[in-house]
Amino acid sequence: MTSGPLAGRRVIELAGIGPGPFAAMTLADLGAEVVRVDRPGGSFFPGHEHSDILNRGKKSVLLDLRDPEAVRTVLTMVERADVLIEGYRPGVAERLGVGPDECLARNPRLVYGRMTGWGQDGPLATTAGHDIAYIALTGALHAIGPADGPPQIPLNLVGDFGGGGAYLVIGILAALDEAWRSGRGQVVDAAIVDGAAHLLAGTHAFLANGTWVDERGVNLLDGGTPFYSVYRTADGRHMAVGALERKFYAELLDKLGLDEDPADQQDRDRWPALRKRIAEVFEKRTQAEWAEVFAQSDACVAPVLSLREAAAHPHLKARGSLVERDGLLQPAPAPRFSRTPASLGTSPPVPGQDTAGILAALGASEQVDESGRRRAAVTELGAALRSLVDLTTRTEVPSAVLEGTARTLRGLAPTLAARVRPLPEQASVDDLRNGVRMLNPVIGAGNPIAPPMRIEIDGDSAIGWCTLGRAYEGPHMYGHGGMSAMLLDQVLGHAVAASARNGVTKGLTVEYLRPVPLEVPLRIWAKAVEVSGRHTTVTGAITTAADPDTPLVEARGRFVRLRPDQVETMFAGSVAKVSPESAHD
């Protein structure tokens, strides 16, 4: 039983990425019961779900919202919930049948949280974007970096998590408080551009009173002053200096052994020479030595630590700001409460692991319960086997252990062989007409050889997301070229379907520009560029998710829409199961 300040509150999270999951994690940390509605093949860390810290403290139910029965199940869940969070583009939730109107009709007290980059309205509302674009448009990115260089990217903290997820939590908590008084829920439109702009309130105040120049690297808090900057040490590390107040600045000068007059702190003409002197002094000792000099000092100086180093720092260690659970280093819940402490909650779930229990508690229909339970079970089995495949490619345990493990696994085979479908029979967890392929070798969450890849449709384009483990290694540390072709063929086919054409691959040309790294999130993009009769030409590329502008592999494919007689000839034996209207398989 959770004991946080939100204990007893129920939250439904329609699975997404980034700021939405962060907001839901924060609510779970604060004691809310969070149920994440995952979709088949939708894992962002396929095979490594246990490390997706943003999903800690949550339960997971596997539902395909393209299925009307699944939508009805979500609406039943809404009747018992306090909050729903979704991060779709504007209009998508409405098209799925789980928009604000449908949900508030079922539960008038519901707080409906919407997380987007651009907001629910405005010229860019339906346009794709990422953190860097949102903070670029608000002025935040322009303000970060040196005067003589380009803007510097502050991870995705300012937009996604600061201006996005954190503001969604603020909005939800405020709406919950108001609903307690009024008895009525409402929609919270949390846009990253709005939140990022709001975070700049103090900077706008400086700008308004003339103490901020709308240029980079020349102001009080952007590294423009020598007493609020970062300096290199003798060992190539860095120290952060933030001696803004005169008394703290005086202590900085004393610790550095500089004979400057603290009264001259705001003399801009002296700043270039002072910066040079401070830099020269810092380069005479290592970071560890300087950390010792400034320990317990009010000079406001601290060593710049890596994520793993931070966990070992005495202060953070004493407060338990970072903790380790199940081998995962992660931040502890924040903030802290005197009577109702927040807690870390359960480990991140495998998608769908709680489906049966949640649906049973809802009293959902047997049909939904069984289909959902089976898809959840297939997903869990696929994830477990995928983990074994991954470990098989990495383990260096003794031969005797390998032999014993092989015998154990062979002993499990008869259990699964008790009921095996013949080749022409469609898998019970698949729905070809709606594009649900649980056992597809690329996107199938239940297929242990699938990464698996998650597909998103963006207008007439398709975007796939996946991470390749060592089972797909070609050159050492990089993916096999054949796997790249397979990923591209899948996404190109979905792009054809997105253009309302459909078809099968007739030809695929692949150009390998750079090696595809393993264990790095990938982005696979495709778009239909030409239509001629029954033929559709599609182009696409593989990039890393972090650098979508640098192609690693490019492809051009030609797809043909089959005539009914061709379907009967080419797919004899399965024609009753496959429709020429179905999405590319």
Query: How many angstroms separate the Cα of 453 from the Cα of each of 383, 387, 418, 463, 507?
Result: 13, 15, 29, 10, 22
Angle between helices 167-182 and 192-199 (to 10 degrees): 100
SS3 (DSSP) at 478: strand
The gap between the terminal CA atoms of the chain, to the nearest Å, is 44
The amino acid at 536: T
The Cα–Cα gap between 144 and 558 comes to: 45
Query: How many angstroms separate the Cα of 306 from the Cα of each of 22, 111, 309?
Result: 21, 38, 5
ω into 517 cis (within 30 of 0): no
Which residue, among 427, 500, 391, has the nearest Cα to 48 in the 3D structure?
391
The Cα–Cα gap between 238 and 217 comes to: 18
Q: Which two tokens stand for residue 196?
A: 């990022």
What 8-state DSSP symbol labels residue 516? P
Instruction: For 433-471, give the secondary structure using H, E and C.
Output: HHCECCCCCCCCCCCCCCCCCEEEEECCEEEEEEECCHH
Task: Report yes or no: 542 and 516 within 8 Å, Cβ to Cβ.
Answer: yes
Q: How many CA atoms lie within 13 A of 373 on its CB side?
A: 12
Q: Which residues are catalytic?
A: 130, 160
Helices (H), 296-354: 307-312, 314-319
SS3 (DSSP) at 183: coil
Task: Report yes or no: 199 and 158 within 8 Å, Cβ to Cβ.
Answer: yes
